[in-house]
Amino acid sequence: MLHPILALFLLCGLSTVSSLDNGLALTPPMGWMHWERFRCIIDCDNYPDDCISEQLFRAMADRLAEDGYLEAGYEYLIIDDCWLATERDSEGRLQPDPDRFPNGIKALADYVHDKGLKFGIYEDYGTNTCGGYPGILGHLETDANTFAEWGVDYLKLDGCYAATEGMEEGYAEMGMYLNQTGRPIVYSCSFPAYKGLDANYTAAVEICNLWRNYGDIQDSWGSVKSIVNWFVDNQGYLSQFAGPGHWNDPDMLIIGDYGLSYDESISQMTMWTMMASPLIMSVDLRTIEPEFRDILLNKDAIRINQDPLGIPGLLAKKINNVYVWTKPILPQVGDKYSYAIGFVSFREDNPIQIEVTLDSFGLDNADGYTLNNVFDPTDPVTVSVTDPITFFIDPSGGVLLEVNPVGSKKFQ
């Protein structure tokens, strides 16, 4: 049984050329963004370490560069809302709040670049941002040029205070101006989140590197589940639009914040890995506990998420309210691909024993597969497609397996 998206992928070739034509985000973007953890804290007198300021972003750049995140692939430091002054300057250009960003955005971008990182920023295709600061409507070309002059590498464009009618055309126009600057800028769009399934996803593929599909993630397991269930309900439609250079975005990783347990954090990392989602952290990297940091830095999970095939995993089955995804990945032997299989419990009571065989997922390599349990660092084992694979999974817990056909170089 061939994974449905793999069949489409092989038919269409290894990538889709988009009219955005920036050659970026060939794997899901990875980085850090301030919003979920730090929101719109602008009171630097009472919250000097947490307010949206130059100081905060320099501190996070230091942690990304020095604590293993950049080495693991988290390359973008992205400012979200509330960085702006309340008015444009006398020439109609955007400007940061002068008290919180006294050296300006260009100096901050230079600091980020000097750390080996890339720099992202937020704006809104509307009259105002969601936080009430100046939006880009009426200033698209000026703002695109400003971002390029500042050294921006990633733009998140929100959709508050904008009419949904004509959004696709407006986002396309901004993409055109970004292209015309000559600077490579990853373009994160939001119109699908505002228009729902009525959005023109074909246009999203053509003009955006990634796009938010659904509402903002909140710091809770319930929020994570609601987002995932929406993607599951619509995976047959949404998955066709995701691939190298253009990705569905279920929003930020909240691992290490207040709302998720250790098990739930493994589950979010498992689901975002399986769905080929952008891995954009939103956590205080200065104070994150080591066990949560280790989840975010898990090399095998990141490698699966960043697999160059770029195929989003699909929910294959549910077993007693345990969701099971499958995702084709490299390496392969002949026509036999490797697979990731992710199990996430949405149960609320007791741990449950899971028993599956690989042939139940359509895997049929006659020589069997080598099995690696990503978050349980034991030695890989070799199994046939009919050997029972048995493990316990905790309520709201996750298990991520990587299975490689015997004969591949991985784990041999």
Task: Give the model's pLDDT for residue 216.
Answer: 98
Task: Give the model's pLDDT for residue 12.
Answer: 38
Give the residue ranges of the chain where pLDDT is below 50: 1, 5, 7-19, 412
Task: Give the model's pLDDT for residue 6.
Answer: 55
H/E run at residue 371: strand 369-373
Task: Give the model's pLDDT for residue 378.
Answer: 85
CA distances in angstroms from 358 to 28, 331, 341, listed in the order given: 27, 17, 10
User: What is the pTM for the complete model shown?
Assistant: 0.95
CA distances in angstroms from 121 to 126, 182, 250, 300, listed in the order given: 16, 17, 19, 29
CA distances in angstroms from 360 to 168, 253, 273, 336, listed in the order given: 41, 31, 22, 16
| 83, 150 contact by CB (below 8 A) | no
Q: What is the DSSP string of 80-132?
A: -SS-B-SS--TTS---B-TTT-TTHHHHHHHHHHHTT-EEEEEEESSSB-TTS
Task: Give the model's pLDDT for residue 333.
Answer: 87
* Catalytic-residue membership of 216: yes
Task: Give the model's pLDDT for residue 287.
Answer: 98
pLDDT tens sequence across 72-114: 999 999 999 999 999 999 999 999 999 999 999 999 999 999 9
Determine which one of 158, 249, 307, 394 is catalytic: 158
* Complete domains list, the chain, with CATH: 19-305 (3.20.20.70), 314-405 (2.60.40.1180)
3-state secondary structure at position 248: strand
pLDDT tens sequence across 128-173: 999 999 999 999 999 999 999 999 999 999 999 999 999 999 999 9
Tokens of 111: 């600091």
Determine which one of 21, 216, 364, 376 is catalytic: 216
Q: Among 355, 412, 351, which residue's Cα sits nearest to residue 388?
A: 355
First to last CA, the chain: 25
* Catalytic-residue membership of 158: yes
Task: Give the model's pLDDT for residue 10.
Answer: 41
Task: Give the model's pLDDT for residue 18.
Answer: 39
